[in-house]
């Protein structure tokens, strides 16, 4: 075979598999759009009479609040995520090995728990201010000029400290995978380590930063637990109010769809900005050697990495430990705690596995096929993440209940007895909601991993006669394993924490840890909920630890490339 024939064969896309990718992608996108159809169904029922009022009195303020919240959270997660990822990759300093994985811990803290915890801790009659007042001998509870956490600034800080791992995780993975050769090349050309970071490492990390920041911002945008509790009136809160207080699901669906269009436009703009760039650099066979930092520099690095862990994890976790301990002393463990834990684990695990598997299929399709339609379908498949969870769940009710009723009537026609609503009562509806809600995390994470695998590998495999299945199983999956594990972890932890969809779509007598925490908090018996909240956090920590071990192992493994 001549050289040109090899190239032709390698670059020719087999039409049959192209169709497979397209059909598969189309199916996933169709299911992903189901809740949107549901929302359109609701929105179309409304006449839009609310809009004049919304435009005059609600949306301008809500839009401004939302923009400021996103801007603040965006800056915070970018700065914390990138700086800590670079520090633990490029330098050696006291505590680095611990920080490497501990920086992920805030992932396990639900935003509503974060809000409760901090309000309790920093309230004028809470332990922090009371302690300080006793120290200075101040009697008036207002004696300390503490700003109120129930404010936009408070919401930005609290969300920033639990959402930065969304940036840290992909960026760190990328820094680890970046070969030393590029950094060393820049160093031998006389660039300082910082300049190498600014001009080489950071630009190469852009896709990972973009994915991480957009995930964190979606989380912040769709948060209702913390923002509502802290009195921050975002667009999501406005949707919620329109639905619940004004009893207008129609109006809520209309606002949600408009918001969705804006989010989607922003995502598209960001991707267009990256179009045509290739980020897969040369792969050295060793990662960069971290440079030791001694003395003051080492201390500063240690403090910089410790701060986000302290605020995003240690404070809320200790608060939970103390509250849970009080509750256990009073009345022992709630009898059903293990059942709720089992429910949470089972549903989160099934959803995480499904979501990663489908995400892998879609990301692979995107890599193998150049069809624009397919790439559009892949973007659509992640749409569930851009809709507030409550709204997504309501939108999903329409198609799910429709399908359920259809099945019920069908069975009734055959056996003469209705089986009831199978999808709703089995929890299948809930699993589907989780998958749709978090598909974007899986797709984004896996695509970011793919950018580090050079297309020449695929061509080599093709030219050696490997089909897409073999290429995926034999080469991509092993190379992607850190990215797959990271995506799985994020989805799993997110499902454990998920609240609005779980509340609305669950079967009878079905309680998860998150719904229990919420029910107790709503009743004001926080301490009963603290035990379950602590279990959420502890279970969320386990995969983080596993991932950390996988991460260190990966770096010892010689890299193919």
Partner 1 sequence: MLSLTRLIQGAAAAALLATTTLSAQAAGEVQAPGEVNVYTTREPGLIQPLLDSFSKETGIKANVIFVKEGLAERVATEGANSPADLLSVVDFGNLIELADRGLTQPIQSAVLEEAIPANLRDADGQWFGLSMRARVIYASKDRVTDETLTYEDLADPRFKGKVCIRSGQHPYNTSLIAAVIAKDGPDAAKEWLGGVKENLARKAGGGDRDVARDILANLCDVGVANSYYVGLMRSGKGGPEQVEWGNAIRVILPTFKDKAGTHVNVSGAAVAKNAPNKENAVKLLEFLASEPAQEIYAKANFEYPVRAGVAADPIIAELGTLTVDPLPLTSVAKERKQASELVDVVGFDG
User: Please, which of residues 167-196 interact with partner 1 by CB under 8 A?
Assistant: none
Nearer to partner 1, 61 or 71 (CB): 61
Q: Half-sphere exposure of 291 toward its Cβ, with a 13 Å CA cutoff? A: 13
Least distance in angstroms from the C-beta of 505 to partner 1: 8
Q: Is 494 in the site for partner 1 (CB under 8 A)?
A: no
> What span, in angstroms and rounded, lies between the C-alpha atoms of 115 and 92?
34
Contact predicate 464/352, CB 8 Å: no
Nearer to partner 1, 464 or 477 (CB): 477
Phi/psi for 147 (5° steps) reads -70, 150
Contacts of residues 277-283 at CB distance under 8 Å and 24 or more positions apart, as own/partner, are 277/206, 279/204, 279/206, 279/207, 279/451, 279/452, 280/451, 280/452, 280/453, 280/454, 280/455, 281/178, 281/179, 281/182, 281/204, 282/179, 282/181, 282/182, 282/561, 283/179, 283/454, 283/559, 283/560, 283/561
Q: Which helix (H) or strand (E) holds 94?
A: none
Nearer to partner 1, 332 or 420 (CB): 420
* Only segment of 19-27, 66-74, 267-275, 504-512 that touches partner 1 (CB under 8 A): 504-512
Q: How far is CA 552 from the centre of its chain?
A: 23
Least distance in angstroms from the C-beta of 301 to partner 1: 34
Contact predicate 385/215, CB 8 Å: yes
What value does the CA radius of gyration of the chain take, rounded to a whole number of Å? 25
CB atoms within 10 A of CB 414: 8
Q: Give the residues across from 179 on adjacent strands.
A: 287
Tokens encoding 425: 């009562």
Of these, 380, 472, 486, 517, which contacts partner 1 (CB under 8 A)?
Answer: 472
Tokens encoding 335: 């009898």
Sign of CA dihedral 116, 122, 127, 128: positive
Of these, 256, 518, 533, 543, which contacts partner 1 (CB under 8 A)?
Answer: 518
Least distance in angstroms from the C-beta of 199 to partner 1: 36
Nearer to partner 1, 85 or 256 (CB): 256
Q: Is 60 in the site for partner 1 (CB under 8 A)?
A: no
Tokens encoding 501: 């969809």
> What span, in angstroms and rounded, lies between the C-alpha atoms of 258 and 548?
40
Nearer to partner 1, 203 or 478 (CB): 478
Least distance in angstroms from the C-beta of 264 to partner 1: 24
- Touching partner 1, residues 249-288 (CB under 8 A): 249
Nearer to partner 1, 212 or 359 (CB): 359
Residues 6+ apart with CB under 8 A from 286: 179, 180
Contact predicate 382/447, CB 8 Å: no
Of these, 357, 459, 466, 475, which contacts partner 1 (CB under 8 A)?
Answer: 357
Least distance in angstroms from the C-beta of 321 to partner 1: 15
Nearer to partner 1, 418 or 463 (CB): 418
- Encoded one letter per residue, x for contact with partner 1 by CB under 8 A and - for no contact, window 381-410 reads ---------x--xx--xx-xxx-xx--xx-
Least distance in angstroms from the C-beta of 538 to partner 1: 22
- Touching partner 1, residues 209-248 (CB under 8 A): 228-231, 233, 240-241, 243-247
DSSP 475: I
Nearer to partner 1, 281 or 334 (CB): 334
For the chain, report the end-to-end CA distance as a whole number of angstroms.
24
Q: Is 492 in the site for partner 1 (CB under 8 A)?
A: no
- The site that binds partner 1 (CB under 8 A) totals a number of residues, namely 85
3-state secondary structure of 288: coil
Of these, 35, 81, 160, 500, which contacts partner 1 (CB under 8 A)?
Answer: 500
* Only segment of 4-12, 25-33, 170-178, 516-524 that touches partner 1 (CB under 8 A): 516-524
Q: Which of 172, 117, 87, 86 is nearest to 544 (CA)?
A: 172
Tell me which residue has tokens 């699901």.
Answer: 249
Nearer to partner 1, 237 or 541 (CB): 237
Of these, 9, 19, 142, 274, which contacts partner 1 (CB under 8 A)?
Answer: 142
Least distance in angstroms from the C-beta of 171 to partner 1: 24
- Encoded one letter per residue, x for contact with partner 1 by CB under 8 A and - for no contact, window 302-341 reads ---------------------x--x---------------
* Only segment of 103-111, 173-181, 418-426, 535-543 that touches partner 1 (CB under 8 A): 418-426
Nearer to partner 1, 183 or 439 (CB): 439
- Touching partner 1, residues 28-57 (CB under 8 A): 53, 57
Least distance in angstroms from the C-beta of 41 to partner 1: 10
Q: Is 473 in the site for partner 1 (CB under 8 A)?
A: yes
Phi/psi for 464 (5° steps) reads -90, 5
Nearer to partner 1, 174 or 350 (CB): 350
Nearer to partner 1, 203 or 419 (CB): 419
Residue 509, by phi and psi: left (phi above 0), alpha (psi -120 to 50) or beta?
A: left
* CA dist 457 → 171, 328, 534 (Å): 23, 56, 45
Contact predicate 226/69, CB 8 Å: no
> What span, in angstroms and rounded, lies between the C-alpha atoms of 561 and 530?
48
Least distance in angstroms from the C-beta of 348 to partner 1: 12
Nearer to partner 1, 410 or 464 (CB): 410
């Amino acid at each position: 075979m001549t050289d040109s024939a090899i190239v032709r064969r390698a670059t020719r896309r087999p039409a049959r598999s192209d169709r497979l990718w397209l059909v598969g992608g189309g199916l996933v996108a169709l299911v992903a759009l189901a809740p949107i159809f549901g929302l359109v169904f609701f929105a179309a029922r409304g006449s839009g009479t609310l809009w004049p009022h919304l435009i005059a009195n609600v949306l301008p303020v809500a839009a401004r609040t939302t923009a400021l919240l996103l801007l603040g959270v965006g800056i915070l997660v970018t700065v914390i995520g990138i700086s800590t990822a670079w520090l633990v990759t490029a330098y050696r300093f006291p505590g680095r090995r611990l920080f490497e994985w501990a920086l992920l811990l805030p992932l396990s803290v639900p935003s509503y728990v974060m809000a409760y915890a901090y309000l309790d801790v920093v309230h004028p009659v809470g332990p922090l201010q009371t302690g300080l007042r006793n120290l200075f001998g101040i009697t008036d509870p207002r004696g300390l000029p503490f700003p109120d956490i129930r404010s936009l600034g408070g919401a930005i800080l609290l969300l920033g400290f639990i959402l930065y791992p969304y940036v840290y995780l992909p960026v760190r993975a990328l820094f680890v995978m970046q070969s030393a050769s590029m950094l060393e090349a820049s160093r031998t050309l006389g660039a300082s380590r910082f300049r190498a970071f600014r001009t080489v490492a950071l630009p190469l990390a852009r896709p990972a930063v973009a994915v991480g920041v957009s995930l964190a911002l979606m989380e912040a945008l769709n948060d209702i637990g913390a923002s509502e509790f802290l009195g921050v009136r975002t667009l999501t809160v406005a949707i919620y109010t329109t639905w619940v207080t004004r009893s207008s699901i129609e109006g809520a669906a209309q606002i949600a769809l408009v918001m969705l269009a804006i989010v989607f436009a922003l995502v598209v703009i960001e991707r267009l900005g990256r179009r045509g760039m290739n980020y897969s650099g040369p792969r050295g066979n060793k990662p960069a050697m971290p440079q030791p930092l001694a003395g003051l520099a080492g201390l500063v690095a240690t403090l910089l990495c410790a701060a986000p862990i302290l605020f995003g994890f240690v404070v809320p976790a200790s608060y939970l430990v103390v509250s849970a301990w009080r509750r256990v002393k009073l009345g022992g463990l709630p009898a059903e705690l293990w059942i709720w834990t089992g429910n949470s684990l089972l549903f989160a695990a099934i959803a995480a596995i499904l979501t990663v598997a489908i995400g892998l299929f879609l990301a692979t399709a995107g890599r193998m096929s150049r069809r624009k339609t397919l790439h559009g379908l892949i973007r659509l498949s992640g749409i569930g993440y851009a809709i507030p969870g409550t709204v997504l769940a309501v939108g999903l009710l329409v198609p799910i209940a429709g399908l359920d009723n259809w099945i019920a009537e069908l069975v009734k026609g055959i056996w003469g007895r209705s089986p009831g609503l199978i999808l709703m009562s089995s929890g299948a509806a809930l699993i589907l909601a989780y998958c749709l809600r978090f598909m974007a995390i899986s797709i984004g994470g896996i695509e970011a991993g793919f950018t580090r695998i050079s297309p020449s590998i695929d061509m080599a495999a093709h030219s050696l006669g490997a089909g897409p299945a073999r290429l995926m199983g034999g080469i991509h999956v092993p190379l992607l394993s850190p990215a797959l594990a990271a995506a799985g972890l994020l989805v799993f932890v997110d499902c454990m924490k998920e609240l609005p969809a779980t509340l609305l779509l669950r079967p009878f007598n079905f309680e998860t840890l998150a719904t229990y925490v919420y029910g107790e908090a709503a009743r004001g018996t926080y301490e009963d909920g603290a035990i379950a909240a602590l279990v959420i956090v502890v279970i969320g920590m386990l995969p983080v630890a596993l991932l950390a071990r996988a991460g260190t192992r990966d770096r010892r493994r010689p890299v193919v490339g």
